[in-house]
Amino acid sequence: MSTTLASQAGPHDRPAHRDPNVLRWVGAYASSMTGDSVYYIALSWAAVQTGSPAQAGLVMSVSALPRAVLMLGGGVVADRFGPRRVVIGSDAVRCATVLAAAALLFLTSPGLWLLAALALVFGTVDAVFVPAVGALPARVTSRDQLARVQGMRGLAIRCASVVGAPLGGLGVAAGGAAAAFGLAGLLIAVSVPLLMSVRIRALPQDGTGTARATTAWRDLVVGLRYIRRHRVLAPLMLAIALGDLGFVGPLNVGLTLLADERGWGAAGMGWVLAGFGTGAGAVSLLLTVRGRLPHAGQVAGYAILAGSVAVGALAYAPSLVVAVVTALFIGLLAGLSGAMCAALLQTQADPAFLGRVTAVASLVSLGFTPLSMPLSAAAIGAWGSGPVFVVSAVVCGLGGVVALCVRDLRRAELPR
């Protein structure tokens, strides 16, 4: 299947950051993501207040299993029924579930079983929501605007994380976990009418809402075969996997242990995270305004390589100021490589496979790479931060090597 989105629109379309249709989608996405941030604050607070630290940790991890197991199936659902319809439905279910939990917590004290059930439902719905969200940008804008849309999406994520955490804290302070869950549900609810107002492009071989002769399993097998045989997508998936495996551990649990080891404290760790967020946000803003960058494959590869060097250097920063500056560069490079990889996924994939392509990429990022966090923590405990950060940087750098050594990926370009 060689059908692309080129026939749907061209460079004469208005820029994505000035397109009301795209802005409605970005607003819906930002509202949903902010609701997610508030939800996780409320869930963690309620779990800590209800059970032991071990039980709270178990509740927080419950959603990971269904998300990882069902993610590929979620990609099939997105392709069979259309990502817009799936996102609207999953947001509605998430909203109803969170509001129901808020009501139960307000009326009674059901205990950890409610929180575990909520996390299980949320993780199950996320397995469908995440691939559909990733496949939707190609339906709301033209191919030449997809890099700009990835920048706008990055800005929405940064704004959601900055706004969501304080909102969640205010909700908990004002009325406990029940109020915070209620606030999360309302924020997710805002996204539903916005999504319903978004116009989508009718893509070739869309088939949304129609019955298909093939089974869901057959669709999954065909999708995986399509990715494996694709000259750009297959190495791109490997580059993303290696980059994330080397990045997630050090920049999550590893950073906490590094801050404790260096005596920076929670405030110092916050400054380092702020540096990272500032860098990533700056790149998102640049892509939103600038749009297309030439030599996307090369840019992604060199950005991953340079970012891996910065990851390794972070563990040897002689002071907190140097660590913050290093984190700023990591954010810039990670944001750049992530946006380029996402835009290439969107433009290289056949429209009929976008959900499954997004599902595989999301499974790598959300399903497999979190496994590196406990391994990183154990390794830092045994050998210290320096060697572990260096090994992680090498793994991350291999992703850049793949991107630069595979000719078709290295030469991949974004549409003009």
Q: What is the 3-state secondary structure (H, E, C) of the chain?
A: CCCCCHHHCCCCCCCHHHCHHHHHHHHHHHHHHHHHHHHHHHHHHHHHHHCCHHHHHHHHHCCHHHHHHHHHHHHHHHHHHCHHHHHHHHHHHHHHHHHHHHHHHHHCCCCHHHHHHHHHHHHHHHHHHHHHHHHCHHHHCCHHHHHHHHHHHHHHHHHHHHHHHHHHHHHHHHHHHHHHHHHHHHHHHHHHHHHHCCCCCCCCCCCCCCCCCCCHHHHHHHHHHHHHHCCCHHHHHHHHHHHHHHHHHHHHHHHHHHHHHHCCHHHHHHHHHHHHHHHHHHHHHHHHHHCCCCCHHHHHHHHHHHHHHHHHHHCCCCCHHHHHHHHHHHHHHHHHHHHHHHHHHHHHCCHHHHHHHHHHHHHHHHHHHHHHHHHHHHHHHHHCHHHHHHHHHHHHHHHHHHHHHCHHHHCCCCCC
CATH architecture of 218-410: Up-down Bundle (1.20)
Band the pLDDT of 93: cuts 50, 70, 90: very high
Can you give the pLDDT at residue 341?
94
Least confident residue range of 83-97, 218-232, 362-376:
362-376
The pLDDT assigned to 269 comes to: 83
- pLDDT at position 9 over 70: no
Which whole number is the average pLDDT over 364-392? 80
Among 258-262, 315-319, 345-349, the range scoring the smallest mean pLDDT is 258-262
What is the pLDDT of the chain when averaged over all its residues?
Answer: 87
Residue range 373-402: mean pLDDT, rounded: 88
Note the pLDDT of residue 306: 96
pLDDT band with cut points at 50, 70 and 90 for residue 212: low
Q: Where are the domains of the chain?
A: 14-201, 218-410
* pLDDT digit string, tens, across residues 156-185: 988 888 888 888 888 888 888 899 999 999
- Return the higher-pLDDT residue of 209 and 348: 348
Which has more pLDDT, 12 or 84?
84
Confidence (pTM): 0.85
Output the pLDDT for position 2: 38
Q: 205: pLDDT confidence band, cut at 50, 70 and 90?
A: low
pLDDT band for position 265 (50/70/90)? confident
300-309 tens-digit pLDDT: 999 999 999 9
CATH of the domain spanning 14-201, picked from 1.10.240.10, 3.40.50.2300, 2.60.120.560, 1.20.1250.20:
1.20.1250.20
Shared fold status for 14-201 and 218-410:
yes
Residue 353 has pLDDT above 90, yes or no: yes
pLDDT digit string (tens) for 388-402?
Answer: 899 999 999 999 999
pLDDT over threshold 70, residue 203: no
pLDDT digits (tens, 9 = 90+) for 227-245: 999 999 999 999 999 998 8
Position 7 pLDDT exceeds 70: no
Higher-confidence residue of 339 and 4: namely: 339
Q: What is the pLDDT of residue 213?
A: 59
